Structure 1
């Protein structure tokens, strides 16, 4: 089936009377309530649940292997290939299925705040609440832009369509398939809305490097003096929380790109974790959740419709999706200059990495390629407690190209624009998960503030014997002993054992990066270095 015929079938679907185009937030909310897809909270947000799939399903994600992708995509466990005929057959089955639904919802918008590099997209949803999610997460066009907006990529989402693995070539009833040739994302069998936004991020990770633009899984903000900070890290490491700083303007919370002109947000909204959310600890996020927002898998208190952010009975991966405009302290449009500081965030469950350390360029490249963190409960199916993981470029699940492509681009930009790089551990201190405690958010904020304001450049440093990291011995607002992780442990010998074990895991993981220079390899943990 040719691309022209596929698009023709899509246009036929979009022309049907049961398809609602470009609905406003109030209109979508009306449909959601009428269709019993969700409930209203006390502040007017939509609350919806996602059934069995409460996180991403990486084993169900595929890229169509064809003449466009075959020689570019880094094929493997992350980027699983599926042939074009299998995709095309399933695509038409999904379209036929959607033709018989009682209603569909279509949104046109953009990915990419910089008009020079933005991607016009369309999202077609079976659920009205998914369409509200897409409307709030992507960049909303002005009224003048809508009519002339010709989508270059289309997401088709049919969560109630269940695949038959033995017939449809999938691994389960769920599937997320990307065809770069036909410029279509096909999603089915999962109601988790995050698949919609992450699929477009994967698309941008494929397309932008071809324009000499570096896509990044990071949040970003800008200070009063115009200084820009990037925050890299996987879900649960604190990107959203730490970038939502009342003293700095937010550029975006999850996906950005770095061109020769500076930084721009890929999205038009925020997708914040809600577990234990409180107005006291995270006022910007808490106050952003009102009419137009979507609460995903957040349980409501009985007879009140008040969200219970401490209730994790559905999942620990509770989420809030809201347009960036719900935060007062933002920069409009979501574009800024080149970054002055780059923060690598990790939630280390072993409790041995320092809460903050300054990285050399080689160390920055090593830790960017390593992308170490502890995968937190709920961010993927089957994860119930933290697990040590390495995710290249702090976003391996979303990288269609080889990690070296992005790492080399980042290294060049660090050199070109002289950015300072820090590794910040938002994980455990005083012992591993289950024994120690999570690093206090107030301490982390103080350390990042000191780094961004240049207060750590002249402070005496201590070189960690296991990881070779330069640790500041003093930071305003943080007890000195907290800065040196070994001092927080009751049993120093156990700390040494854990540190050696983690260092070995770094070395073992880095064996896959055979192309890395000797300087980068030697910038890893000092213990047991080969």
Structure 2
């Protein structure tokens, strides 16, 4: 059984800091590709597959049932078939009961015992790497499927009757398809402006998971992650397959992730050409040499014209992401925006990565000349990208990363950023990238001479640009880095009471990220105070986890890396009086540059008397009233005290819901700001 199962290295809520490899804790997951192996050889080729193990048959049966492979196996043999004299496996018993000659069988194993057992009974033997030496090994290597020709492997996911398949088209070919199909128009200098005017925000796209035995106990079911029963999934998928018959599709084979040992082979099938180009921008390409042995571990199918309600499920959103973790199949239906593809992939990775002792991280990142990495957390993706792309440092990653026990890796190979009102002076690198060939622009305008107008064509949705990392002049394309040296948390505090910049302990940083705090004025109505909101870790795409549990995982990584943690307030400090305060990008960039260059001595520091962390109260060229809220509020001291206490009370109330589930180190620092 060690040949087909590997230890699940993810931790549980109860033991965040304990060793997942301790014998009494080990749980199992299928090795990569084994579901495909079973489907191909047992179902399509009609071969008999038997598990020969020295484990307990009842336990092995339970595991096989959990992963949905039990009914496809001929038999399971446990410890009862081990020879008591030489401890080899009695393959002769298996051959006899299956009525198969030794010459017509093959034994796949990972140990010397397996090899000696095969030799003793004259059975051909194939050795595979064991789970300790090679976790990345995949059973897909046994499959005789030409993914670059024929039916392109679509039969393996039971997809039949496709009229035409366009496989791994290059960027110029996809641009030609977009123009030919009238999906978009080419603008001045070569970017592509998509014609559609109806897109979706992240909140408009429902995320559903198929409830099945292999994963249901690992999922934190919530308003963000809703279950779909297996029967409902089959109804939707069967209707989708019927919908796709006699239609054309585009296939892009790629990798999610940069590091070879943990990247996920991914196949993206799209109904339209422009989402296929987006996939080509965002994920690592498969080279011609790699394509010879490429086998997708996960398949994503994007069909915006199909409605889930057509499958008879009226309670499911028509704009939806439906993930079947057992089948390793992701369906996106109804949703037009490119964000649906990235959200679906990262949502799925958020479940996969911890199984290999890696945690998913939503942040932007830059790398200094000395190789040191700085990462940026915050709700405003455009602001994070603006800080990362307009510095003297190499751009490392846009938004989706993985943090392993040994390094920090980029899961994407491109950039997707908001470009509402994009300014050439303030954001020169992003502006330059939007003027290059094949950059995708969603919901942007275009004039009669095909020049881009960075205004929303449909006012309900943002204008968005997507482009490959190659469009950036200064980018680190290794995809792998040492642990982050600096962690920046960007908050928008319209309450006006948080300092412009502060230095946090790692415990405080974990708590701020757990909160995901932001406040802003609602300009549609007269308010006495801004509206306070919380979005843990500034994303809903980590909803597989209990929020407090992820805080422990993230704190563990920060502590091991000994990262220095900083908080940046993007809103000018002081009383804003219900107006739209403008983000001071120049000041934020100077803060980041000084920290990244190890020049924190340029700042004058003091302990903020209200928030109890070191904050900047002096910086050359800036008056103290721009940095220190206590000075900024000098004219209204009483209101300053009231607003501070209001925000503290809000923090305390929010954190109280997590108090019983946090790791000891974070729990001890939970109310550091209280008097």
Pair in the same fold by TM > 0.5: yes
**Deviation of the 1:54 alpha carbon:** 3.1
Correspondence for 1:362: 507
Match of 1:234 among 370, 379, 383: 379
**Deviation of the 1:434 alpha carbon:** 4.1
Matched, 1:339 2:495: no
Q: What does 1:190-269 correspond to in 2, within 5 Å?
A: 190-236=335-381, 238-269=383-414
Correspondence for 1:500: 645
* Distance of aligned partners of 1:470 and 1:211 in 2 relative to their CA distance in 1, 3 Å threshold: same
Matched, 1:400 2:536: no
122-131 or 396-405, which deviates more: 396-405
Matched, 1:450 2:594: yes
For residue 67 of structure 1, give the secondary structure of its aligned residue in structure 2. Answer: coil
For residue 238 of structure 1, give the secondary structure of its aligned residue in structure 2. Answer: helix
286-295 or 406-415, which deviates more: 406-415
Q: Deviations over 1:79-126 (max 9, x none)?
A: 21121211121012112112243x211101011101111000011111
For residue 123 of structure 1, give the secondary structure of its aligned residue in structure 2. Answer: strand
* Distance of aligned partners of 1:245 and 1:465 in 2 relative to their CA distance in 1, 3 Å threshold: same
**Deviation of the 1:246 alpha carbon:** 3.7
Q: What does 1:86-485 correspond to in 2, within 5 Å?
A: 86-101=232-247, 103-164=248-309, 167-236=312-381, 238-289=383-434, 290-301=436-447, 303-311=448-456, 313-315=458-460, 317-374=462-519, 388-432=532-576, 434-435=578-579, 437-456=581-600, 459-485=603-629
Cα distance between partner residues in 2 of 1:501 and 1:164:
45
Cα distance between partner residues in 2 of 1:458 and 1:25:
46
224-233 or 167-176, which deviates more: 167-176
**Unmatched segments (≥5 aa) in structure 2:** 1-34, 45-152, 523-529
Contact 1:506 1:524 in 2 (8 A): no
* Distance of aligned partners of 1:415 and 1:486 in 2 relative to their CA distance in 1, 3 Å threshold: same
Contact 1:369 1:403 in 2 (8 A): yes
Contact 1:297 1:315 in 2 (8 A): no
For residue 47 of structure 1, give the secondary structure of its aligned residue in structure 2. Answer: strand
Cα distance between partner residues in 1 of 2:614 and 2:501:
9
**Unmatched segments (≥5 aa) in structure 1:** 378-385
Q: Deviations over 1:15-49 (max 9, x none)?
A: 73412111111111111111111111112111115
After TM superposition, the score normalised by the length of structure 1 is 0.90
**Deviation of the 1:165 alpha carbon:** 8.2
Correspondence for 1:84: 230
Contact 1:237 1:345 in 2 (8 A): no
Cα distance between partner residues in 2 of 1:333 and 1:421:
24
Contact 1:136 1:323 in 2 (8 A): yes
Correspondence for 1:73: 219
Match of 1:32 among 131, 155, 178: 178
* Distance of aligned partners of 1:418 and 1:93 in 2 relative to their CA distance in 1, 3 Å threshold: same
Cα distance between partner residues in 1 of 2:286 and 2:630:
52
**Deviation of the 1:151 alpha carbon:** 0.6
* Rg comparison, structure with higher value: 2
Cα distance between partner residues in 2 of 1:487 and 1:140:
53
**Deviation of the 1:396 alpha carbon:** 3.1
* Distance of aligned partners of 1:216 and 1:127 in 2 relative to their CA distance in 1, 3 Å threshold: same
For residue 285 of structure 2, give the secondary structure of its aligned residue in structure 1. Answer: coil
After TM superposition, the score normalised by the length of structure 2 is 0.72
* Distance of aligned partners of 1:234 and 1:146 in 2 relative to their CA distance in 1, 3 Å threshold: farther
Contact 1:393 1:406 in 2 (8 A): no
Cα distance between partner residues in 1 of 2:281 and 2:257:
14
**Deviation of the 1:315 alpha carbon:** 3.8
Cα distance between partner residues in 1 of 2:253 and 2:358:
23
Cα distance between partner residues in 2 of 1:387 and 1:98:
46
Q: Which has the higher contact order (CA 8 A, sep 6+)?
A: 1
Contact 1:366 1:521 in 2 (8 A): no
Contact 2:221 2:227 in 1 (8 A): yes
Contact 1:468 1:525 in 2 (8 A): no
For residue 216 of structure 2, give the secondary structure of its aligned residue in structure 1. Answer: coil
Cα distance between partner residues in 2 of 1:237 and 1:273:
5
Cα distance between partner residues in 1 of 2:560 and 2:317:
46
**Deviation of the 1:358 alpha carbon:** 0.6
**Deviation of the 1:442 alpha carbon:** 0.2
Cα distance between partner residues in 2 of 1:232 and 1:515:
23
Contact 1:139 1:268 in 2 (8 A): yes
Contact 1:56 1:192 in 2 (8 A): no
342-351 or 47-56, which deviates more: 47-56
**Deviation of the 1:524 alpha carbon:** 5.0
What RMSD in Å do the two structures reach over aligned CA positions?
2.7
Cα distance between partner residues in 2 of 1:362 and 1:123:
39
Contact 2:408 2:481 in 1 (8 A): yes
Correspondence for 1:20: 166
290-299 or 10-19, which deviates more: 10-19
**Deviation of the 1:12 alpha carbon:** 5.6
Q: Deviations over 1:32-70 (max 9, x none)?
A: 111111111112111115544331136611111211221
Contact 2:220 2:545 in 1 (8 A): yes
**Deviation of the 1:511 alpha carbon:** 2.1
Contact 1:354 1:484 in 2 (8 A): yes
**Deviation of the 1:313 alpha carbon:** 4.2
